[in-house]
Structure 1
Amino acid sequence: MKKTLTLCALSAALALAFAPVTAAAQAPAGKVAGAVADQAEKRLDKLADDYYEAQARHDPVGATQNGDNRFDDKLGITISPTLRAQQFARYDAFLKRLHAIDRGSLDRGAQINYDILEYELKTLLTFKRFPDHLLPIDQMSSMPVTLANFAGGEGAQPLTTPKQYRAYLSRLNQLPAWIDQAIANMREGMRTGVVLQRAAMTSALPQFQKLSSKTPEANIFYTPVKKMPATFSAKDKLELTAAYRATVAKKLMPSLAKLTVFLEKEYLPATRTSTGIDGLPNGKEWYHANVAAQTTTSLTPEQIHATGLKEVARIQQEYGVVGPKMGYTGPASGLPTWVAEQEKYRPFKTEQEVIDVYRKLDGVLREKLPALFTLMPKAPLDLRLEPELSRATASDHYTAPASDGSRPGVFWSVVNDPKQYGSTGMVTLFLHEGQPGHHFHIALLQEMDLPKFRKFGGNNAFTEGWALYAETLGKEMGLFGKPEDYFGHLNDEMLRAVRLVVDTGMHAKGWTREQSIQYMRDTLGYTEAVARSETERYMVWPGQALGYKIGSLKIAELRQQATAALGPKFSLPKFHEIVLEDGTVPLSLLEAKVQRWIEKDGAK
């Protein structure tokens, strides 16, 4: 195929064409092409670095959460209309720079970087017209609560040295300006009809009331002083204590009080009674943009809703089969509630007994996984109990290994009360959060030579889709031999299927909050409180919960296509290698990768 040279590459080629013809100057055509490709790759690398840097500087708190601690003293008021407009202008400029690079001259790895950067920039630019900055606070996320979660030193922002203490203090000093901007934005939202749902604001309000205190010492933002390491010098202790007290007393307490009064007296009465994002101006289009971004597909909300209903029906049929094996004879929809009531599925007395089950399972997987994978992470996986300090608010999760090999990947098991720890979901949970779920994807990602925007970025559809697909491998590894373990797998699948139904139901099909709560109670056996909390999460994060099941279904679909097309040539380890070898990619690029593999191996 004929390649189009960029302006710079064309200049280089013309210079060579008109240079004096000497023995030294008679470079083979391959070298010229190589020089063009090398120049294009360098321009792409520079652009990728500039893009990541712009993102990190625009949202330094996000950079901290990604493990980039260079800007731990900066807050970044991303909700500022001016700064937001400047960032969108940068995205436009980055896209123009990208399109000036000759993609055809890049090698395969660079082309993937090109395609993903193009996809990200185009996706980001679709949100330019939707005023998400006018909704800066909800019960799931806000800057004051994020910084409060850092205060104990267990969060993403480290607090172990005087320098780190001063960086966090610098952020606290910038928080009042963020709050002022948030209030101004919400007032603009009240004027234009872009406001939060009343139920969500009602749930969020107690968070901000808890941030208030009668004295600086009782304030959560004073916590670093109470936990100051004994190794700090007397001078540092004295200076930092005085500085934190002054910031909390003179800046944060008045600012947080102002925010709380505004939310209670002005904002709450102006919130909306509608449930979905379609209740906002251009809400339907806004939701479509969210769906596309979260699923990385062109699926419509209606298609996703239908898929969810189909999956719920399929899983309930499975409930009907596994229920009697567990001793349950009632309707399929009642199985989750019945299981939750059975003491035999809460067999533990100590934390050690819980972690021992996971360690035994880990040993079994180490023997079985090599038959399913040729591409496996070098980094080890460690199993640990969540520290007591963070257990109350944490859920079982995975943390990535350090890219330099100094820290393993870790599966964290959260055991608040071992006597209440359910055993039915343990196998599927470990397959998802441990291996081959997040560990096989995220640890491998750390070992790849990728631009920072790809190491620290990604999408839920692939990340959570892979982990959910990994759960299904338990069946072919013989890990669901006990009916209760298979139920645990089905129950996790049911949650992801129900999300497809209620998310699209509320935001595209006119469902009310109450309809979603009842549907979750009926299908998942949730209490009213849990169903309400989950529903309100989906209300303020439209589309976010869709990626899990859509990603998993796509990977399973591609596996079925490859199996049918390749017949005896199909290799499951090779399929897993194709899926994982390039790190996180949008589902459309994943599909193209698998199709190329099918065509290549099918032609042999």
Structure 2
Amino acid sequence: MHKSLARTALWAALALSFASNTALAAPPAPPAGKVSGVVSAQAKKQLDALALEYYEAVARFDPVNATDRGDNRFDDQIGMSIGPKERARQNARYNVFLNRLHALDRRALDLRSQTNYDVLEFELNSLLSFANLPELMLPLNQMDSIPVTIANYASGDGAQPLKTVKDYKAYLNRLTQLPAWIDQAIANMREGMRVGVTLPRATVVSMLPQYQKLISAKADESIYYTPIRKMPASFSARDKAALTAGYRKAIDAKLAPALVRLASFIEKDYLPAARTSTGWSALPEGKEWYEKNVAIQTTTSLTPEQIHAIGLKEVARIQGEYGVVGPKMGYTGPAAGLPAWVSQQEKYKPFKTDQEVIDVYRKLDALLRTKLPALFTLMPKAPLDLRLEPELSRATASDHYTAPAMDGSRPGVFWSVVNDPKQYGSTGMVTLFLHEGQPGHHFHIALLQELDLPKFRQFSGNTAYTEGWALYAETLGKEMGLFDKPEDYFGHLNDEMLRAVRLVVDTGMHAKGWTREQSIQYMRDTLGFPESMARSETERYMVWPGQALGYKIGALKITELRRRAEAALGDKFSLPKFHEIVLEDGTLPLSLLEVKVNRWIEKNQ
């Protein structure tokens, strides 16, 4: 998945998905005195100014998310987006922005600006739709939180650069702010305990070791001290001494005690109070809360029940494909049992070291560079790098992609998660890289930064488009001859099955009363997952309700639009041009993407 930072239940949705949870509304009537239908440079100028103000407000409100998105101007700030008073002030800002937007005459804008207007309206409506829900009471989980994110930045290999003295001071400033964030998180979680808004107990058990690992007896043993251990030799002796003293003081005096407080609170207070239920519907206002997440993540009006049915249908279709590819791999049992059989075959676990895994991805990357120009005329200029996931987050992380820096100082990165190379399966590597690397997330996310778009659109997105494009990109492996080996095609089908299963288990747990154990068993039966993998996947969906739905819903829509274009245009259809149409205007809600593709079809028929 595209790894964007998510601080709370809401921000887990909105950092990955800034799309409306309502159908496209008709544009508002123009204010009195304005001439409608005439393109106005002044109207565009006003919209551009408003969009920039909105982006600045979002970046300053959540500066760590800005860092992760490639905007490094606020690398010395953490922000307090989980503070109730600050969140209320931010919602008031959003209301002002929305009122100012509606004061503009949308019909006086050119087509590109109308799209910017629509996306901005979607984002603001989405943010405000959560204003009265208790998501602040869930500020961290086993998938992401500020303390773990800042710890992962300590290597200097992530989104926050650590190359200059200024960089080191910026990171140090964040360390001094982290204790206040931790104390606010504890206060929020105590309020959640009081009113019955807590994480499920199983996910708290999973996250506790992360926070315990952050504790160290001395500063120089702390992961947050890593920058000092890797300090460039080019720094002056004076800078080295000052930075070393500053890091020691920040960690020993304030940060270390705060981390002890957090781990102790989670273990002794929060874990005993955590709920035993599984789904979001068990929470106060949980049904409405989940439905809003579903709408945001899919950018559709599909109900959880409809999505559950789509998932079951897709599972059955893919199992039919298993029945074809299985015998080619030497499997003669029932189609549904193919994933479990593959997982037991030692020939598909050929690795002994982490390096062997990353070497296969590098070889695949080189091959793709020779094949992609035939399918794409629009490609990002930013390079793509391949790296192993840091050890701290490896146990709970999924393979993911991070965006390049806007200034070109950092490439896009495909992060491979290898916990035990001897258990790393080879069958899914091709399809995984097509999704997380190129032409999946890299062709979309890196390209976003190179398009002539307002900043808020370069740095935001929605799951249905972002993950839908990446899942669609996996299917291009067949056209490039990358699935000629039956085991590689199985790997593609199995990853597609995962996305179909997610539709079933996410809606099952959060809307239909499924238990955690039901989800784990369903994933083991349909995907052949070992218990540990089915458990970690299930627990991801438990704390990120709805997030896993966007993948399949988005991919199905993009595939549907391609088939529609192929049927309508016949010999005039160009696959590189279709890809250009999908990518050239950045991330869009699915409804806007459909309008755009339909317009292209009508123009070229």
Do these two structures clear the TM 0.5 threshold for a shared fold by scoring above it? yes
Q: Deviations over 1:378-423 (max 9, x none)?
A: 5265564548878956765444455566766555556677665533
Say whether the 8 Å CA contact 2:210–2:392 is kept in structure 1: no
Distance in 2 (alpha carbons) for counterparts of 1:282 and 1:479: 47
- Aligned partner of 2:587 among 565, 584, 587: 584
> 1:560 offset after TM fit, Å?
2.2
Match of 2:101 in 1: 98
RMSD across aligned positions (CA)? 2.7
Give TM-score, length-normalised by structure 2: 0.89
Residues 257 and 443 of structure 1: CA distance in aligned 2, closer, same or farther (over 3 Å): closer
> 1:83 offset after TM fit, Å?
0.4
Say whether the 8 Å CA contact 2:387–2:413 is kept in structure 1: no
Q: Does 2:130 correspond to 1:127?
A: yes
> 1:574 offset after TM fit, Å?
2.9
Q: Does 2:263 correspond to 1:270?
A: no
> 1:231 offset after TM fit, Å?
2.1
Q: Does 2:571 correspond to 1:565?
A: no
> 1:274 offset after TM fit, Å?
0.7
Q: Does 2:288 correspond to 1:281?
A: no
Q: Deviations over 1:315-361 (max 9, x none)?
A: 11111111111001122222122222323334457777766655665
- Aligned partner of 2:437 among 417, 431, 434: 434
Match of 2:171 in 1: 168
Residues 404 and 222 of structure 1: CA distance in aligned 2, closer, same or farther (over 3 Å): closer
> 1:76 offset after TM fit, Å?
0.7
Residues 366 and 152 of structure 1: CA distance in aligned 2, closer, same or farther (over 3 Å): closer
Give TM-score, length-normalised by structure 1: 0.89
- Aligned partner of 1:41 among 40, 44, 48: 44
Distance in 1 (alpha carbons) for counterparts of 2:363 and 2:140: 43
Q: Deviations over 1:215-267 (max 9, x none)?
A: 33323223333222222222222222222222222212222222222222222
Q: Does 2:238 correspond to 1:225?
A: no
Q: How does 1:518-537 map to 2 (within 5 A)?
A: 518-537=521-540
Counterpart residue type for residue 123 of structure 1: S
Match of 2:74 in 1: 71
Say whether the 8 Å CA contact 1:379–1:408 is kept in structure 2: no
- Aligned partner of 2:381 among 379, 385, 398: 379
Counterpart residue type for residue 203 of structure 1: S
> 1:196 offset after TM fit, Å?
1.3
Distance in 1 (alpha carbons) for counterparts of 2:390 and 2:212: 25
Distance in 1 (alpha carbons) for counterparts of 2:385 and 2:166: 32
Q: Which moved more, 1:189-198 or 1:229-238?
A: 229-238
Q: Which moved more, 1:82-91 or 1:359-368?
A: 359-368
Residues 390 and 215 of structure 1: CA distance in aligned 2, closer, same or farther (over 3 Å): closer
Distance in 1 (alpha carbons) for counterparts of 2:208 and 2:353: 37
Q: Does 2:155 correspond to 1:152?
A: yes
Q: Which moved more, 1:473-482 or 1:164-173?
A: 473-482
Say whether the 8 Å CA contact 2:71–2:406 is kept in structure 1: no
- Aligned partner of 1:59 among 47, 59, 62: 62
- Aligned partner of 2:333 among 312, 330, 335: 330
Match of 2:260 in 1: 257
Q: Considering Cα pairs closer than 8 Å and 6+ residues apart, tell me whether 1 or 2 has the greater RCO.
A: 2
Q: Does 2:550 correspond to 1:547?
A: yes
Distance in 1 (alpha carbons) for counterparts of 2:239 and 2:306: 60
Q: Deviations over 1:275-321 (max 9, x none)?
A: 01101111000000000111111111011111111111111111111
Match of 1:16 in 2: none
Structure 2 segments unaligned to the other structure (5+ residues): 1-26
Distance in 1 (alpha carbons) for counterparts of 2:518 and 2:65: 34
Structure having the higher Rg? 1
Distance in 1 (alpha carbons) for counterparts of 2:355 and 2:215: 38
Distance in 1 (alpha carbons) for counterparts of 2:282 and 2:29: 47
- Aligned partner of 1:481 among 484, 498, 502: 484
Residues 3 and 237 of structure 1: CA distance in aligned 2, closer, same or farther (over 3 Å): closer
Match of 1:89 in 2: 92
Residues 344 and 208 of structure 1: CA distance in aligned 2, closer, same or farther (over 3 Å): closer
Counterpart residue type for residue 183 of structure 2: D
Say whether the 8 Å CA contact 1:471–1:489 is kept in structure 2: yes
Identity %: 72
Match of 2:316 in 1: 313
> 1:151 offset after TM fit, Å?
2.2
Q: Does 2:189 correspond to 1:189?
A: no
Distance in 2 (alpha carbons) for counterparts of 1:54 and 1:152: 29
Q: Partner of 2:242: helix, strand, or coil?
A: helix
Say whether the 8 Å CA contact 1:355–1:383 is kept in structure 2: no
Match of 1:248 in 2: 251
Q: Deviations over 1:23-71 (max 9, x none)?
A: xxxxxxx9xx56xx11100101101100110001111111111121211
Match of 1:27 in 2: none
Counterpart residue type for residue 574 of structure 1: K
Distance in 2 (alpha carbons) for counterparts of 1:476 and 1:162: 48
Say whether the 8 Å CA contact 1:77–1:83 is kept in structure 2: yes
Say whether the 8 Å CA contact 1:173–1:247 is kept in structure 2: yes
Say whether the 8 Å CA contact 1:215–1:249 is kept in structure 2: yes
> 1:566 offset after TM fit, Å?
3.6
> 1:596 offset after TM fit, Å?
2.0
Aligned residues: 578
Distance in 2 (alpha carbons) for counterparts of 1:149 and 1:244: 16
Distance in 2 (alpha carbons) for counterparts of 1:47 and 1:199: 44
Distance in 1 (alpha carbons) for counterparts of 2:182 and 2:425: 41
Say whether the 8 Å CA contact 1:351–1:418 is kept in structure 2: yes
Distance in 1 (alpha carbons) for counterparts of 2:264 and 2:428: 43
Residues 462 and 448 of structure 1: CA distance in aligned 2, closer, same or farther (over 3 Å): same
Distance in 2 (alpha carbons) for counterparts of 1:387 and 1:273: 31
Say whether the 8 Å CA contact 2:152–2:392 is kept in structure 1: no
Q: Partner of 2:324: helix, strand, or coil?
A: helix
Q: Partner of 1:70: helix, strand, or coil?
A: helix
Match of 2:425 in 1: 422
Residues 115 and 269 of structure 1: CA distance in aligned 2, closer, same or farther (over 3 Å): same
Residues 333 and 131 of structure 1: CA distance in aligned 2, closer, same or farther (over 3 Å): same
Q: Does 2:105 correspond to 1:107?
A: no
Counterpart residue type for residue 509 of structure 1: K
Match of 2:143 in 1: 140
Say whether the 8 Å CA contact 2:343–2:529 is kept in structure 1: no
Counterpart residue type for residue 312 of structure 2: L
Say whether the 8 Å CA contact 2:457–2:587 is kept in structure 1: yes
Distance in 2 (alpha carbons) for counterparts of 1:215 and 1:194: 35
Match of 2:5 in 1: none
Q: Partner of 1:447: helix, strand, or coil?
A: coil
Q: Deviations over 1:180-203 (max 9, x none)?
A: 211221121122111111111111
Match of 1:198 in 2: 201
- Aligned partner of 2:559 among 556, 559, 584: 556
Say whether the 8 Å CA contact 1:315–1:490 is kept in structure 2: yes
Say whether the 8 Å CA contact 2:30–2:103 is kept in structure 1: no
Residues 441 and 220 of structure 1: CA distance in aligned 2, closer, same or farther (over 3 Å): closer
Q: Does 2:476 correspond to 1:468?
A: no
> 1:591 offset after TM fit, Å?
1.1
Residues 408 and 541 of structure 1: CA distance in aligned 2, closer, same or farther (over 3 Å): closer
Q: Which moved more, 1:50-59 or 1:171-180?
A: 171-180
- Aligned partner of 2:299 among 296, 300, 305: 296
Residues 531 and 360 of structure 1: CA distance in aligned 2, closer, same or farther (over 3 Å): closer
Q: Deviations over 1:481-506 (max 9, x none)?
A: 22111101101101111111111000
Distance in 2 (alpha carbons) for counterparts of 1:441 and 1:543: 22
Distance in 1 (alpha carbons) for counterparts of 2:216 and 2:357: 39
